[in-house]
């Protein structure tokens, strides 16, 4: 047996991971809307009853919008990373699978905070879900760029550092959310709304 060849790391095309990730994002973002459900309204009820039922959905709708924004932000990070990643190895594949595991959990954690508003356990579960995804995204980029293992050798250090900083935005907000959730559950979720605005600001002033 050639022991030297057995130690050569295995690399794979990133195309399959990219396709799987895009599909999972599409499904997770679609499933979010299934958490919105009007209460039963008897046939023949007046318009005000329907209007009141829709108004009662304001909190679930807000949670839906926040989660959709977050998944969109993660998808943007994924697109930025995969654009520079030329190949993947087993570690990169499993980091990607870990993030997909938690991404598919977002519809559940969103429905949890919608069904149990103001409950600390539900809010903490949601923030931990987002924190887990963001940490795995950061680890994927660190792994891919360490020694330019999975990216082009010509990739500028400025781009590597920029994406490292971008990957720290959501974990920082998730940690703040975890700390502030017991004092204002809905307010702790509103912090995530600023994520799309922080991305371009960081790129501009870095």
The tokens of 48 are what? 């005000």
pLDDT at 13: 86
In a domain, 132, yes or no: yes
pLDDT at 1: 46
Tell me how far apart the terminal alpha carbons of the chain are, to the nearest angstrom.
Answer: 51
In a domain, 35, yes or no: no
pLDDT at 181: 84
In a domain, 193, yes or no: yes
Give pTM, 2 decimals. Answer: 0.86
Q: Which residues pair with 151 in a beta bridge?
A: 85
pLDDT at 73: 93
Which regions in the chain score pLDDT beneath 70?
Answer: 1-9, 41-46, 203-206
In a domain, 37, yes or no: no
From CA 117, how far away is CA 8, in angstroms rounded?
A: 52
Could you tell me how far CA 189 lies from the centroid of its own chain?
A: 14
In a domain, 18, yes or no: no
Find the domain containing 128 and state its range. Answer: 59-205
In a domain, 166, yes or no: yes
Judge whether 21 and 93 are in contact, CB under 8 Å: no
Domains identified in the chain, total number: 1
Is residue 70 classed exposed, middle or buried when 0-12, 13-18 and 19+ CB atoms within 10 A define those classes? buried
94-to-18, 74, 136, 140, 169 alpha-carbon distances in Å: 13, 17, 10, 9, 23
From CA 142, how far away is CA 112, in angstroms rounded?
A: 32
In a domain, 178, yes or no: yes
From CA 178, how far away is CA 172, in angstroms rounded?
A: 10
pLDDT at 45: 65
In a domain, 6, yes or no: no
């Amino acid at each position: 047996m050639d022991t030297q060849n057995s130690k050569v790391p295995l690399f794979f095309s990133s195309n399959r991971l990219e396709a799987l990730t895009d599909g999972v994002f599409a499904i997770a973002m679609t499933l979010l809307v299934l958490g919105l459900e009007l209460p039963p309204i008897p046939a023949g009820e007046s318009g005000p009853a329907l209007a009141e039922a829709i108004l009662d959905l304001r909190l679930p709708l807000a949670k839906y919008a926040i989660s959709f924004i977050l998944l969109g932000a993660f998808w943007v990070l994924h697109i930025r990373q995969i654009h520079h990643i030329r190949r993947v190895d087993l570690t990169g594949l499993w980091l990607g699978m870990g993030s997909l595991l938690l991404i598919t959990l977002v519809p559940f954690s969103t429905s949890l905070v919608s069904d149990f508003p103001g409950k600390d356990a539900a809010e903490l579960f949601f923030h931990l879900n987002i924190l887990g995804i963001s940490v795995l995204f950061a680890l994927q980029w660190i792994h891919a760029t360490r020694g330019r293992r999975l990216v082009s050798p010509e990739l500028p250090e400025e781009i590597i550092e920029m994406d490292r900083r971008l990957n720290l935005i959501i974990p920082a907000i998730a940690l703040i959310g975890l700390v502030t959730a017991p004092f204002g559950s809905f307010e702790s979720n509103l912090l995530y709304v600023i994520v799309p605005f922080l991305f371009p600001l960081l790129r501009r002033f870095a």
